[in-house]
Amino acid sequence: MLRRLDVRGLSDQLESVLPRPPAAPAVAEAVAAILAEVRRDGDRALRALTERFDGVRVKGLALGQTELAAALDRVDPELRAALEVAHRRIAAYHRLESEPPRELHTDGLRVRELVRPVGRVGCYVPGGRARYPSTVLMCATPARAAGVAQVDLCVPPGPDGEVDDATLAAAAIAGVDRVYRVGGAQAVAARAYGTETVRPVEVIVGPGNRYVAEAMRQVSGVVGIPAATAGPSEVCVVAGPQTPAELAAIDLAVQAEHGPDGLAWLVTWSEETLEAVERALAAIVAASPRRQELAATLRDGGYGCLVEGPEQAVAVANVVAPEHLELLVDDAAGLVELVRSAGAVFVGPRSPASLGDYVAGPSHVLPTNRTARFASALGVADFRRRIAVVEAEDEGLARLGPSVVALARAEGLDAHARSIELRR
């Protein structure tokens, strides 16, 4: 069920001995062809590609406020209430990120920052045969908290050519302006280049499969893409001898059931725990309605890693740099300070990653494929630009001008120096 690894005694060699995420098949050429087709043919390409990949002919590409409001009225009241609770907590968390701009006023020079949101954001949410209304909230809510004026959504249509009501209801609650029934790399192309129906954007966010992630990589620079595009789901569970095996097993399954290409790591210093978790996990897979997705992820990306103790367990996690890191041990709080690379950390046996997936507050759009080494969860900063504002007084030119002249002359840039001298 889990590929066994034993790194006991190898603390200085973890980066070289731990396997990297499984390599995805080459998709760059296929994605490049899709991007080119959408850029050339616009809406006609989107319809053709949707029929080719999703197997449906959509009536129209765009859904507006009327359709969103109708879906909100149709969904089960309990689901609507849950979406509103999640939205309230996500919005409250991201409002905390909105700090006032910094300002420095010394030597006769006033330097400050203007913080401005981008004008339009395109959210991508997986769909088709599954639905992720929570991801709508996790993408659109921080964009609104950042002050973005227009937030649109792309989602693949279902087998009937429609977008399900739960997704549309979440879009209504999160303040999405428009929903487009298109997914995959073609949706990314439409957001980057625009078509007759789909408006181009400044930033694209959201998780997707390897084709979506590759498309985001290829259009980066045409539009803004967060430093870590979110790919297939990952979890690293740290468990000790006292960790209930069924809790560790179900939390591995929580992320693995998203499907192929993900990662599910169990890290423990107890062979008995490893064996007990494997037994519990096998039972979960056998009984799951998503057993195929679970089995595929665990076959290709499931690992059971034996370590010397808690500190080495966190050292392994720092190399894996997982999207979700769960510390399912009683002294979990004491291990948090050792964490260096993770998308989000869940502390203690009572804090499963599913809390973060839905209602904790931080976005569940997290860095994957070891990009947590340099990237962070989706947040307000991904939708804003910082603009430096420089204002000089007479004192500033007198005191700092000579330094500018000296540096400019040293670099052979005469006009730079003269621009100061003409003002003194």
What residues are annotated to the active site? 323-324
Q: DSSP characters for 104-136?
A: EEETTEEEEEEEEE-SEEEEE---TTS--HHHH
Q: Are 239 and 328 in contact (CB under 8 A)?
A: yes
In whole angstroms, what is the distance from residue 150 CA to residue 152 CA?
7
Q: What are phi and psi of 160, to 5 degrees?
A: -90, 5
Strand (E) or helix (H) holding 179: strand 178-181
Strand (E) or helix (H) holding 392: strand 384-392
Report the helix count and the strand count for the chain, using DSSP H and E: 17, 14
List Cα–Cα distances, 304 to 101, 115, 176, 238, 326, in angstroms: 46, 45, 41, 10, 14
In whole angstroms, what is the distance from residue 51 CA to residue 182 CA?
10
Residues forming beta bridges with residue 178, ordered by sequence position: 152
In whole angstroms, what is the distance from residue 355 CA to residue 336 CA?
18
Q: What are phi and psi of 396, to 5 degrees?
A: -65, -45
Q: What are phi and psi of 113, to 5 degrees?
A: -120, 135
Strands 203-205 and 234-239 turn out to be unpaired
List Cα–Cα distances, 284 to 14, 274, 287, 323, in angstroms: 30, 15, 5, 22
In sequence order, what are the residues at sequence separation of 6 or more whose Cβ sits closer than 8 angstroms to the Cβ of residue 74?
A: 165, 169
Pull the structure tokens for residue 255.
């992320």
In sequence order, what are the residues at sequence separation of 6 or more whose Cβ sits closer than 8 angstroms to the Cβ of residue 331?
A: 310
In whole angstroms, what is the distance from residue 217 CA to residue 228 CA?
10
